[in-house]
Structure 1
Amino acid sequence: MTLRRRPSCSIRSRLALGLVSVATGFALLVGPAAAAGPVPTAKPSASSSAAAAPAVSPQPDAAPVTPAALKGDAPAKDYFGAMKGPAPLAARSIGSYAKGCLAGANALPVNGPTWQVMRLSRNRNWGHPDLIRYLQDLAKAAPTLGWNGLLVGDLAQPRGGPMTSGHSSHQIGLDADLWLTPMPNRILSAEERENISAISMVKHPQDKAGADRSVDRSKWTDSHAALIRHAAKDRRVARIFVNPAIKKALCEFETGDRAWLNKVRPWWGHDYHFHVRIACPAGSTGCSDQDAPPPGDGCGADLTWWLSDEPWVPKLDPVTGKPPPVEKKRPMALSALPKDCTSVLTAR
């Protein structure tokens, strides 16, 4: 079995919230995480409606960007993070999930009958129209699965591209993070959407030798499993990423057709949310799909490795007895993206 190289950043840094990134003079507030706790579930009042939701309208970009003003060696996240609205072009996902951009994005409304968008200050509720339709379809089905509704995390920036903080993927408008916390029976305020924490479904800590890497049965339910199964069975979906403990629980949950489990892949983190990735839409010339996952349900030797100490327990330096220092990667340069991403940035 081929061993996987541990990511350069720690698990803790992958899950950290509450960062503030500044990109080319624009401050983008990333919502802080409050102490984890139950989400209020009070019934909505008779006057509650989508109209009462926090109003978040795309703001115009501060100044036009011209091709001559773009510097190929500058961090791409500085340019894309400063964009407040979508490129007025035909909808198209350009490049690959971790190296690309997005034209003609649609915004997922911050409120729907069975969904609410979280962390509104990030302005990351944008996606290819196919992703937006998929999320609306999944949210519509959620109540039939014992799930009140979806709390939706990050999709993409208005024009995709590398983000000012957080994800390395989510660049072409085909990725979405969906919380494993059900939507409450009322409309959350803008402040609540910034401060309510998602709830981890797995036992902690996971980075200790011999740790119990399984779901917390006081939080994880069959409704969680049913929602992920329904999400994965959709033909538009290419991958779903979950914590290995959640993958194990899904393997135990399914007693019938196991084909959908092939799309559900274990990955670091992903204990508070599951990450849905759809395939390149028709008409998105230059969009690169991932290779198909290996055959089988993924519940065998590969999952056994993920549940072992190997991927989780830090390797100590034999001299210092400490974990090796984290290697900080340089931000992706604008020149590393497909050439069409320049047109996406400059479109007005």
Structure 2
Amino acid sequence: MKSSTRSLGARNAVLAVVLAIAGLAAQPAAAEERAKDLFGAEKLPTATAPQSFGFYSKGCFAGGVAIPMDGPTWQVMRPSRNRRWGHPAMIATIEQLSRDAAADGWPGLLIGDIAQPRGGPMLTGHASHQIGLDADIWLTPMPDRTMTRAQRETMSATLMVDEKTHLVKDALWTPRHTALLKRAASYPQVERILVNPGIKKKLCDTVKGDRTWLRKIRPFWGHDYHFHMRIGCQPGSPTCKAQEATPDDDGCGKPLAWWFTQEPWRPNKNPDAPKARDVMTMANLPKECRAVLDAPGPASAEAATYHGGAVPVAVAAPEPEAPSLPATTASGTAGLPSAVNAFTATPEVGVPVPRPRPPAK
């Protein structure tokens, strides 16, 4: 009996040691900091060449620039979020849209979230907006005055869609809203625009003549007070993952009809499940994102702010030497050197705009 007791005690001791070792091995993974906390803490972009890494909902970007808080045809909303950063091509597209829309009769853009300074998962809100190629534009026209910072933090956007019927509120929708979306969809670098299904239906029911641009207008949950503009992967970003092209038709058929059934609006079967951004760690992101976090930044936000036709000149803040970000082309040859960065003036070249996607074969 004593021998059996000693044997059982020995087995328990061995089991305890095994469990302790297993627990120690598991600790680093369990304690690994969430990617959204790391990227959400960054206040400035990298002083490196502009590159997007990964996919819109799982990645990061380098060499970002900020859109100014105020422009002649735009104002940035919710400035405390520090989400007015993007790839230079995205910021240039927003500014172009603001000018063109003003010429079309839109009073000016109210700009919502673009991206965090170095992208990555956000602390709150979006699943995408991670690689500097997404931007939210309010469907509320800009007031005819410069708003205070407090007003930008508290002003409510106008909800354009009835939450019960999922249809646009006709008293609020105007031809200028249609013209704004058409203008945004007209740019070849813009690949898709996400709107509420009710807004898509309104366009399908009312747009006459040329309807080819409607293929870029994609219905999605939410997006009832703003539209989400997405541009494609840019030159110099070989590891940026493109999204599947939109269908060639206007998108006003069966796929849109599905949104007006009960299926899309059924309660979530697992509402307490954590969102991807809340559990994503650096191990889930492209390996380049670690270098993005470690790279030096500019001396200030103003030094990295886009002002028109040329990308601003900025000097990296004095910091210890940081690892260079990968800069390779699709063929594996060296791409832009790290000394060439998003803040080098390029008045002759401007921001590169990709050609339209070739038709599928």
More deviation in 303-312 or 108-117?
303-312
The answer for the alignment partner of 1:223 in structure 2 is 176
1:218-257 aligned within 5 A: 218-257=171-210
CA contact 1:71–1:334 (8 Å) conserved in 2: no
The answer for the alignment partner of 1:286 in structure 2 is 239
The answer for the alignment partner of 2:147 in structure 1 is 188
2:86 corresponds to 1:127: yes
Q: 2: CA distance between counterparts of 1:203 and 1:313?
A: 17
Q: Offset at 1:309?
A: 1.7
Aligned partner of 1:310: which letter?
E
The answer for the alignment partner of 1:338 in structure 2 is 286
Q: 1: CA distance between counterparts of 2:287 and 2:271?
A: 35
Aligned partner of 1:334: which letter?
M
CA contact 1:242–1:275 (8 Å) conserved in 2: yes
2:272 corresponds to 1:326: yes
The answer for the alignment partner of 1:31 in structure 2 is none
Q: Offset at 1:204?
A: 2.4
Spell out, residue by residue over 1:214-256, the C-alpha distance to the aligned partner (whole angstroms, 9 max, x if none): 1001111111011001101110101100000000011123211
1:10-25 aligned within 5 A: none
Q: 1: CA distance between counterparts of 2:77 and 2:128?
A: 19
Aligned partner of 1:326: which letter?
D
Q: 2: CA distance between counterparts of 1:100 and 1:240?
A: 20
The answer for the alignment partner of 1:314 in structure 2 is 267
Spell out, residue by residue over 1:45-71, the C-alpha distance to the aligned partner (whole angstroms, 9 max, x if none): xxxxxxxxxxxxxxxxxxxxxxxxx99
Q: Offset at 1:333?
A: 0.9
2:223 corresponds to 1:277: no
Q: 1: CA distance between counterparts of 2:218 and 2:32?
A: 34
1:29-178 aligned within 5 A: 73-178=32-137
Q: 2: CA distance between counterparts of 1:125 and 1:187?
A: 17
Q: Offset at 1:74?
A: 2.1
Q: 1: CA distance between counterparts of 2:120 and 2:270?
A: 30
Aligned partner of 1:163: which letter?
M
Q: 1: CA distance between counterparts of 2:213 and 2:30?
A: 44
Q: 1: CA distance between counterparts of 2:129 and 2:270?
A: 29
Give the structure-2-normalised TM-score. 0.71
Q: 1: CA distance between counterparts of 2:251 and 2:264?
A: 17
What is the alpha-carbon root mean square deviation over aligned residues?
1.8
The structure having more radius of gyration, on CA atoms, is 2
Q: Offset at 1:189?
A: 0.2
Aligned partner of 1:243: which letter?
N
The answer for the alignment partner of 1:43 in structure 2 is none
Unmatched runs of 5 consecutive residues or more in structure 1: 1-69, 206-211, 316-322
| Residue aligned with 1:141, SS | helix
| Residue aligned with 1:311, SS | helix
Relative to structure 1, the CA distance from residue 98 to residue 325 in structure 2 (aligned partners, 3 Å threshold; closer, same or farther) is closer
Q: 2: CA distance between counterparts of 1:238 and 1:324?
A: 32
Aligned partner of 1:95: which letter?
G
Q: Offset at 1:140?
A: 0.2
Q: 1: CA distance between counterparts of 2:92 and 2:86?
A: 10
Spell out, residue by residue over 1:160-192, the C-alpha distance to the aligned partner (whole angstroms, 9 max, x if none): 000011101000000000000000000000000
Unmatched runs of 5 consecutive residues or more in structure 2: 1-28, 297-361
Spell out, residue by residue over 1:323-344, the C-alpha distance to the aligned partner (whole angstroms, 9 max, x if none): 6543224521111111111111
Q: Offset at 1:142?
A: 1.4
Give the structure-1-normalised TM-score. 0.74
Spell out, residue by residue over 1:51-108, the C-alpha distance to the aligned partner (whole angstroms, 9 max, x if none): xxxxxxxxxxxxxxxxxxx999321011100000001110111111001101000000
More deviation in 252-261 or 325-334?
325-334
The answer for the alignment partner of 2:256 in structure 1 is 303
Relative to structure 1, the CA distance from residue 112 to residue 142 in structure 2 (aligned partners, 3 Å threshold; closer, same or farther) is same
Q: 1: CA distance between counterparts of 2:87 and 2:31?
A: 25
CA contact 1:73–1:335 (8 Å) conserved in 2: no
| Residue aligned with 1:246, SS | helix
Relative to structure 1, the CA distance from residue 187 to residue 72 in structure 2 (aligned partners, 3 Å threshold; closer, same or farther) is same
| Residue aligned with 2:279, SS | coil
Relative to structure 1, the CA distance from residue 217 to residue 199 in structure 2 (aligned partners, 3 Å threshold; closer, same or farther) is same
Instruction: Give the paired residue count.
Output: 267
Relative to structure 1, the CA distance from residue 72 to residue 106 in structure 2 (aligned partners, 3 Å threshold; closer, same or farther) is farther
| Residue aligned with 2:264, SS | coil
Relative to structure 1, the CA distance from residue 253 to residue 104 in structure 2 (aligned partners, 3 Å threshold; closer, same or farther) is same
Relative to structure 1, the CA distance from residue 72 to residue 108 in structure 2 (aligned partners, 3 Å threshold; closer, same or farther) is farther
Q: Offset at 1:307?
A: 1.7
Spell out, residue by residue over 1:262-312, the C-alpha distance to the aligned partner (whole angstroms, 9 max, x if none): 111000000010000000111112011101112311000000001222101
Task: Choose between structure 1 and 2: higher helix proportion.
Answer: 2
Q: 2: CA distance between counterparts of 1:153 and 1:324?
A: 29
